[in-house]
Structure 1
Amino acid sequence: MQRGPDHPLRCEYHAAGLCFSCTLIDEPYSRQVADKQRAIAALIDPLAPGLRWLEPRLSEQLGFRTKAKMVVAGTVDEPTIGILAADGSGQDLRDCPLYPPALSSAFAPLAAFVTRARLEPYSVPLRTGELKHVLVTVAPDGDLMVRWVLRSTEALARVRKHLPWLLEQLPRLAVASVNVLPEHKAVVEGEREIVLTERETLAMTVNGIDLHLRPQSFFQTNTEVAAALYRQAGAWLEAVSPDSLWDLYCGVGGFALHCAAAGREVVGVEVSEQAVASAQRSRDERLAADDATMESVTFVADDAVGWASRQRGAPAAIVVNPPRRGLGEELSRRLEESGAEAIVYSSCNATTLARDLAWMPSYAAREARLFDMFPHTAHGEVAVLLERR
């Protein structure tokens, strides 16, 4: 892939008609961002007279993805690592330039591992085989997490046997696991995870804070832009200076840990027990390092909607970072009635964001900012500061 100062990028996979994941790659990056913000603003602005849009936070155009979800296809001796073609065969994307070298350099050893451990790639047309995906995450310091998604544990012994060889090939491999996905359906992973290494978490250092990712933890795939998103939320809340804060859908604690302040009571709520365990570990490590801002930070494993509805009172401020489905009516109306002074809403789906804002008429959207997590696609993350009227 080649680029000019503001010209469309050329990707050889895209040019050859082999991959169309980057749907906007033929457009200059400045136009991509302008169109993305225009589309989001068209949904939000009618609900927010006087809303101030901050300058978009741009992304690197190459090497920005720190997580790869690769389909494994082909044969044991000639595996492909990439995506599926229209006919169900594998299309290798090992040279996709969206991945940084620290991540993409792992693909060749991982392909060799498929052959060495005799992991038969899964065939979608035939519904045969064991290995469906290989998921790779790289931390800012270069450490790696690798997960093999298998249909059963039949090959588990072979994975264990040959793992020492892979550790020699990939010295930065810190966490390795097998995920079991027996169903014949188009999902990336199953519920069962078997960790194969002594380390169980990958430390993603963001703005000087270690966020611990377990194999099934959600984390933004664009770490640099995610760091800017956390800083923005922290800056908004610093101006409001609330004495208490809820972080709903807190994940591994990114917003809660970044928005903590001495004397501020922070509660992070996340349904995933693994994510909460990771968030607690990050908090405990900072407490051990005499970080006084962590003294009043707690995390709860619970459904955000149910937990918020059971609370009698409300904090001075709330951060919400829901999945694409948004908050929904019940939680939006709970926040509307909360009396919180400010809400920071981080959304990956402007349509559900606009819907939720309509259920919170007591809050005025003051500032908003686009965070371009996914260059060359129509997807974007937008954060909005809401203040009580």
Structure 2
Amino acid sequence: MDCSYFDAGVCRSCTLMGVPYGEQLARKDGHARDLLAPYGDAIWLPPVASAESGYRNKAKMVVSGTVDAPTIGILDEAGRGVDLRECGICAPGVRAALPVLAAFVTRSRLEPYSVPDRRGELKYVLVTHSPDDELMVRFVVRTRAGVDRIRARLDELLAALPNAVVVTANLQPEHKAVVEGDTEIVLTAQSSLVMRVGGVPLRLRPQSFFQTNTAVAESLYEQVTEWVDAVSPASVWDLYCGVGGFALNVAAPRRRVVGVETSTEAVRSARATAAAAGLPHVAFRAGDATAFALRAKTTPDLVIVNPPRRGIGADLSGWLEGSGIPNVVYSSCNPNSLSHDLARMPSYRIRTGRVLDMFPQTGHLEVAVLLDRV
């Protein structure tokens, strides 16, 4: 893949840009295998490749510049806006929306926030694209006045961007490196975006986490479901469950599944999907995954963990080590933290593993492993 922004030196976020894709994939696969070799004589499946471009279903874009000439992209080292509305790794549906949103900024007179001057209203636009070609658009503003400006011209935005089924305003008034605040104001009748992945219509609410690469996420869910079905547990915990992707995909008759997630928005989404699908044996709890495990009076037959980059940490690793649970599926976006966690769990060995390239053109990767207790 070629990128004019990378070639011009204005954006270097994609650190592997220009490296042949086959070489990128081989590097990631080899890195994961080498790093995790001490934790079992694993069977490694072929890595899952991604489309090289157009794979990102979500764009978190900084808004800068001026009302009449807004930039949508990133900031340079001096805090000035760099426009990336043609970013090639974004899904075509996202790229098509960005010029419309830039025009809306001008029409609604939403002053872009200036980091150097600590002045302005609109900080970010966050756009998520679904497999059904629908959009969730979120504006991050500093004040209620910004919300009012968006609401006043919402009909114009929906006419110009008719596939925007969810539009929200998020309040983040502080001058700090935080994308969004706690307050989310839904401006449309619909409050969740349906992400159809692996035959499951996941409902994504505004502040819920979802995998960046829809096609590779589907492969990840399929792989984990295959491993879980092969073990055939009667009960499963899905810790760090997000909107319930793993829990809902591994659901089966007479299999009890519990998902645990700190985000109440994500739990609401997961519960809505389970109810619509008629899955009475799947339940979701809002709370900390480690605290849930430590408080539990019983244990399941299998645990799925899909933590953030820092991994599951010493407390949950230690609990799993002493739990007696026969199998664990660990999906990780950071092989280094996975390696650290496995070192704390010597009773488990990797039976099989697979690298999934969730983030082409970057050094990041997803790796999933099935662990057996020995």
Is 1:109 the counterpart of 2:100 in the alignment? yes
Which segments of 5 or more consecutive residues in structure 2 lack a partner in the other structure?
A: none
Which of 5, 8, 15 is residue 13 of structure 1 equivalent to? 5
Aligned-pair distance for 1:113?
Answer: 0.6
Cα deviations across residues 283-325 of structure 1 (Å, max 9, x unaligned)?
00001xxxxxx22111111111111001122111110001111
Separation (CA, whole Å) in 2 of partners of 1:210 and 1:159: 29
Is 1:151 the counterpart of 2:142 in the alignment? yes
Which of 347, 362, 371 is residue 332 of structure 2 equivalent to? 347
Which of 251, 272, 297 is residue 263 of structure 2 equivalent to? 272
The residue number in structure 2 matching 1:94 is 85
> What SS does the aligned partner of 1:154 have?
helix
Cα deviations across residues 34-66 of structure 1 (Å, max 9, x unaligned)?
112222223211222x11111000100011000
Q: Superposition RMSD on alpha carbons, in Å?
A: 0.9
Aligned 1:1-389 pairs, distance under 5 A: 9-48=1-40, 50-287=41-278, 294-389=279-374
Q: What percentage of aligned pairs have identical amino acids?
A: 55
Separation (CA, whole Å) in 2 of partners of 1:102 and 1:182: 29
* Aligned partner letter, 2:282: V
Greater shift, 80-89 or 225-234, is seen at 80-89
Contact 1:76–1:118 (CA under 8 A) maintained in structure 2: yes
Aligned length in residues: 374
Cα deviations across residues 116-137 of structure 1 (Å, max 9, x unaligned)?
1111001111111111100000
Cα deviations across residues 10-40 of structure 1 (Å, max 9, x unaligned)?
2111111111111101211111111122222
Aligned-pair distance for 1:260?
Answer: 0.7
The residue number in structure 2 matching 1:291 is none
Aligned-pair distance for 1:191?
Answer: 1.3
Separation (CA, whole Å) in 1 of partners of 2:114 and 2:348: 51
Which segments of 5 or more consecutive residues in structure 1 lack a partner in the other structure?
A: 1-8, 288-293
In the superposition, the TM-score normalised over structure 2's length comes to 0.98
In the superposition, the TM-score normalised over structure 1's length comes to 0.95
Separation (CA, whole Å) in 2 of partners of 1:235 and 1:122: 47
Greater shift, 94-103 or 260-269, is seen at 94-103
Separation (CA, whole Å) in 2 of partners of 1:285 and 1:92: 41
Separation (CA, whole Å) in 1 of partners of 2:148 and 2:178: 24
* Aligned partner letter, 1:192: T
> What SS does the aligned partner of 1:369 have?
strand
Aligned-pair distance for 1:145?
Answer: 0.3
Contact 1:370–1:383 (CA under 8 A) maintained in structure 2: yes
